[in-house]
Structure 1
Amino acid sequence: MIEERMVSIAVSGAADASIALRRFTPLAGGPAILLLHGLGERGEVFRPAAGAGLAPWLAEVGYDVYVPDLRDRATQSSPLPDISQTQLICEDLPALFQLIAGEHPAERFAVIAHGWGGVLLACALCREPTWLDHVAGVVHIGARRVCAQRNWQRWLQLDLLWNRLAPLWGRRLGYVPLSRLGLGTADISLRLHADAQLWQNGGNWRDPQDGFDYSAALDGITWPSSLYLAGRGDHCMGHFADVKAFARELGRHDAQLLKLQRGAGSSRDYGHRDVLTHPQAMDDHFPLILSWLARQTDVQTP
């Protein structure tokens, strides 16, 4: 039996700020796992329908699953806050780490990050590397920093929609309507869009607000064991070659990279979002994720 409940946690150092968090708790308890969404998404990407998705699936097999909506997301009726990427990195993610550490003292937790959530996670751990001792392992799903592809999907999604139309429309509305542009299911702030745009177009991996050099910080740390997944049908947002380049950018570590494609253990060529939301994912690669996690967290798989 799984208990699903919504809670709100305060963000340290940010006045009147809180993070909406959905927690899936197994009846017998279990090791913690944090699921981080990317830009243009909410935590619902891990639970697209009641009882469906990676979050309840992991809870069913014994994990205590934490699924936040980072602060740049807004409800349909509330205004979108002018959140920056630096705030997510320096305030939201440490607050989530602290919550899990408080609920699971003296235990390590795993992290699954989708898309740009993997970049935000890497940045937060570079900023506060003491949290690396708390992380048992990381699963990156379609996570990349720079898009180096030169195909029509990149021209349409990144060059035209993301780089040109999104900021133009955003200046009119006061926020970037990724949902209306077909680039996600949630909208983001202009500042967050500008920050991400700088990095994914090949800009140096430095913080645009205080100049923190993430590339230099990586030289002094050892990244946790990681599993990298990318769908063959993801041609821009999480292309396999870009995911591989991101793994290399994080430095030498225990890394396993897998391409999810028809005829090679998958029933279909997965894209950027359906890698989490398609019903067949539960049979294709969710068990693979579970098997890998079990080796990091000492959980017996069914």
Structure 2
Amino acid sequence: MRHHQQSEWLAVADYQLHLRQLTPVQPDSAYPVLMLHGAIENSRIFYNEKGRGLGCFLADHGFYVSCADFAGRGLSQPKAGRGFSHSQQQLICQDIPSLISHLYQQYQQPVVVVAHSWAGVVLAASLARFPQLLPEVKAIVTFGSKRVISVRGFKKRLHIDLVWNRLAPLLCRLYGYLPAKQWRLGADNEPAQYLLDTIGWIRGETFTDPTDGFDYAAACADVSWPASWHFAAIDDQLLGHPVDVQAFLTETGLNLGRYTLLGKTQGYLQDYDHISMLTHPDASRDHFTELEAWLKQL
């Protein structure tokens, strides 16, 4: 590895968000990178102690990288549990603004924000709701981010209609949180309210806040977005289907940014899926290299 790793915690409200700081041995970029994970996962989608993942790759190539665990996930405190409540609105209105401003103040440079899956949705919502944050954001990069899952078929009926929309809320009522790890639904557990807040958007309800009705779709129409690059995977057939990714980009206005489909037909080494686009060993010789070059030209 050509970077060092250490942890820090950022106090927000009555909880602490964990940040895994990946510090390059030889810095080669002015812009810090903030990485935000999706639902039922944590920041380890971007790094591990052996130096794998997009976060480690960028740190090895000179970027200061901060991989954040959302409230209740990863090493953030407290853990998701019956006694800890955290909503999607809190993430949009408190956590993401706090993370961006923390790094902006720390490095005195605007931040590149990298988001996987659902994190791209809450990131867009946060920036649309708080446009005063936009000068603190240099660029946006998303991987498999969609708001609505419109694709049909057996996997949609099983994993979304049955498990996410029906079983998961039942588990939340039983346990007080979503025990995704115990039930092998994902890499990390979720606070109950956060899970419940996602369901309407996934079903295709309007892009408004389920808590106070704030109209994110209207707010997005007024945003002048920073430079952005959005990746979809050819073999992502459900959680970030290319059709749904493009629909999300159109809805928010982020479709003015760059869009790339990751597959062999498009000239890449693998037909990537929702997870392998960030974890496959070939990614570091593929789109990671392209992204590094693009970021250094900003």
- TM-score tier by shorter-chain length is over 0.9
- Structure 2 counterpart of 1:300: none
Gaps of 5+ in 1: 297-302
Q: Establish whether residue 69 from structure 1 lines up as the match of residue 69 from structure 2.
A: yes
Q: Is the 8 A contact 1:42 1:185 kept in 2?
A: yes
Q: Is the 8 A contact 1:166 1:181 kept in 2?
A: no
Q: Deviations over 1:119-168 (max 9, x none)?
A: 11111101210111221111110001011101222122111211121112
Q: Select the residue among 182, 185, 188 that pairs with 1:186.
A: 188
Q: Establish whether residue 250 from structure 1 lines up as the match of residue 258 from structure 2.
A: no
Q: Establish whether residue 10 from structure 1 lines up as the match of residue 8 from structure 2.
A: no
- Letter of the structure 2 residue corresponding to residue 54 of structure 1: L
Aligned length: 292
CA distance in 1, matches of 2:287, 2:91: 29
For 2:200, what is the secondary structure of its paired residue? Answer: helix
Q: Is the 8 A contact 1:20 1:68 kept in 2?
A: yes
Equivalent residue runs for 1:21-100 within 5 Å? 21-29=19-27, 30=29, 31-73=31-73, 78-80=79-81, 81-100=84-103
What TM-score, normalized to structure 2? 0.92
- Structure 2 counterpart of 1:142: 144
State the Cα distance separating 1:39 from its structure 2 match.
Answer: 0.7
Q: Deviations over 1:177-203 (max 9, x none)?
A: 223444420111221111111111101
State the Cα distance separating 1:220 from its structure 2 match.
Answer: 1.6
CA distance in 2, matches of 1:192, 1:78: 14
Q: Is the 8 A contact 2:117 2:240 kept in 1?
A: yes
Q: Establish whether residue 272 from structure 1 lines up as the match of residue 243 from structure 2.
A: no
CA distance in 2, matches of 1:224, 1:104: 19
What TM-score, normalized to structure 1? 0.91
- Letter of the structure 2 residue corresponding to residue 26 of structure 1: P
- Letter of the structure 2 residue corresponding to residue 63 of structure 1: F
The CA RMSD over aligned residues, in Å, is 1.8
Q: Is the 8 A contact 1:10 1:95 kept in 2?
A: no
- Structure 2 counterpart of 1:20: 18
For 2:52, what is the secondary structure of its paired residue? Answer: coil
- Letter of the structure 2 residue corresponding to residue 251 of structure 1: G
Q: Is the 8 A contact 2:32 2:107 kept in 1?
A: yes
State the Cα distance separating 1:118 from its structure 2 match.
Answer: 0.4
Sort the Cα spacing of 1:206 and 1:90 in 2 relative to 1 into closer, same or farther, 3 A.
Answer: same
- Letter of the structure 1 residue corresponding to residue 176 of structure 2: G
Which one is further off, 182-191 or 119-128? 182-191
- Letter of the structure 2 residue corresponding to residue 46 of structure 1: F
Sort the Cα spacing of 1:125 and 1:78 in 2 relative to 1 into closer, same or farther, 3 A.
Answer: closer
Equivalent residue runs for 1:120-159 within 5 Å? 120-159=122-161
- Letter of the structure 2 residue corresponding to residue 111 of structure 1: V
